[in-house]
Amino acid sequence: MEVVSNKRQLHIGVMITLLVMIVISLWLAFFAGDWEFECIRLLDDVSLVFKVDEVSGLFIAILDIAWICAGIYSFVYMKHEGKEERFYAFYLIAYLALAAMDFAGNLVTMYMCFELVTLSTFPLVMHSGSRESIMASLKYLLYSMCGAYMALFGIFVLYRYSDSITFAAGGTLSAEVVSEKPFVVLLAVFLMVIGFGVKCGMFPLHSWLTAAHPVAPSPASAVLSALIVKAGVLGIFRSVFYIVGAETIRGTWVQYAWMILTLMTVFMGSMLAFREQILKKRLAYSTVSQVSYILFGFATLDSTAVTGSLLHVVYHAIIKSGLFLIAGVFLVNCNKRRVGELVGIGKEMPVLLWSYTFLSLGLIGIPPTGGFISKWYLAVGSLETSGIGAFRWVGPMILLISALLTAGYLLPITMRGFFPGDGFDETKVKRKEPDKQMLLPIVALAALTVLLGVFPNFVIDYASAIAKTIL
């Protein structure tokens, strides 16, 4: 009884702490007005600065939604994993690191918070202490460090050539640099894209993601796939559109190489997900593909496509966190890791599988889910973009192929779950939906996927306003 009481106290303490942090972050993002806080001066012209703008509001909103859902779910799930105190310590620290990165006001502050995100999340990957989890966490740490060093080189160069490293819509590079475009500046931008892209799982440094996500506890996998990868997305977005400026790289080899890498990642990730039989690893390959949808939209440097990318930041975070939480239910409640073992699961857990189905439709991009809205904007923006040659139609074509592959690796679970075939004995089936504390966050995420597809105007207007200020 004493152990149960201690666990309950731990859960209450974690929930209160998390709710307080979420309330503060939302107040700062949406109700505190325009604010800026300089806390530490590192050099004469470099300080740690935090401030709020529309971008920080967008990323804070998805952070809070996914983090609270995964946290509630974890109170039941982590009973099976053990070492809850350590898990929740790093879970809360990781939230603070991500929130601080969202509010970062300049390039140096963002980079330092980006490093803190890595340091606070790799213990979540190695939580079980198994050899596989330790090796995956070391791989995650090594890849992240390599990416961070590439980004750091870019920061050194941009510090030299920019008028300021404080974020400003449209960029801060001096006019002389923009007109001359020296090779070292373009190289620095490209290395920053690759470096921050490591966290996004962008080719060629993507394999850490498919090693780390499957071995982490499912609540950690959910936030890794939904939010930690978005740290790389935010790093690229801030660097390109708030320091470098879109016009600096428009029509250069950096833009074309960036688009090539994103489209390669989209196609490759979908193909590997289609072939993978372990569910969590399949979802990890899916994240590799889906996050590069976002990066492709950024790379077009088109307002409509960038709007689609920002929409996909929101929808992907909601959808993928829900899918990983569902995979955790299959693992803990049914001891099923492989896709082939889920035949007839809809007879046992119909509510859970319906939630999985709606989330899957969102990831594929089928109306009326939110994923359809973001992918529509991405495709239309690419087709409308001038100056990118064949990428105008190659991009939408690869996105369509990827959507078909996504349907191919997600929907068969629904079909065989609800319609298992003649060899399935339904008389032995017993209803065993997961604990309500695990099920309700999943249902909420699935419902949100549909609601944001049926009523998308607010999110569209918000994302469109951001895109118009930077392009």
Q: How far apart are CA 75 and CA 10, in angstroms?
A: 9
Q: How far apart are CA 76 and CA 226, in angstroms?
A: 20
347 to 312, 352, 427, 433: CA distances (angstroms):
32, 10, 10, 10
Check pLDDT > 60 for residue 1: no
What is the predicted pLDDT for the residue at 435? 82
Check pLDDT > 70 for residue 425: no
Check pLDDT > 60 for residue 211: yes
pLDDT tens per residue, range 55-86? 999 999 999 999 999 999 988 888 887 778 88
Q: What is the dihedral of CA 154, 160, 164, 167, to 10 degrees?
A: 0
pLDDT tens per residue, range 339-391? 888 888 888 888 999 999 999 999 998 988 988 999 999 999 888 887 777 77
pLDDT interval class at 427 (50, 70, 90): low
What is the predicted pLDDT for the residue at 213? 79
What is the predicted pLDDT for the residue at 264? 93
Q: What are phi and psi of 277, to 5 degrees?
A: -105, -20
Q: How far apart are CA 319 and CA 233, in angstroms?
A: 17
Task: Tell me the pTM.
Answer: 0.92
Give me the percent of the chain exceeding a pLDDT of 70. 95
pLDDT tens per residue, range 219-248? 888 888 888 889 999 999 999 999 988 888
Q: What is the mean pLDDT of residues 409-419?
A: 89
Tell me which amino acid residue 304 is: T
Q: How far apart are CA 211 and CA 174, in angstroms?
A: 42
Check pLDDT > 80 for residue 2: no
What is the predicted pLDDT for the residue at 308? 93
Can you state the angle between helices 107-125 and 131-161, rounded to 10 degrees? 180
What is the predicted pLDDT for the residue at 346? 81
| Residue that wins the pLDDT comparison between 2 and 413 | 413
Residue pair 56/84 in contact (Cβ under 8 Å)? The answer is: no
Q: 3-class SS at 409?
A: helix
pLDDT tens per residue, range 251-281? 888 999 999 999 999 999 999 999 988 898 9
Residue pair 256/351 in contact (Cβ under 8 Å)? The answer is: no
What is the predicted pLDDT for the residue at 238? 93
> Residue 10, exposed/middle/buried by CB under 10 A (0-12, 13-18, 19+)?
middle
What is the predicted pLDDT for the residue at 257? 92
> For all residues of the chain together, what is the average pLDDT?
87
Residue pair 143/205 in contact (Cβ under 8 Å)? The answer is: yes
| Residue that wins the pLDDT comparison between 260 and 6 | 260
| Residue that wins the pLDDT comparison between 181 and 88 | 88
Residue pair 229/199 in contact (Cβ under 8 Å)? The answer is: yes
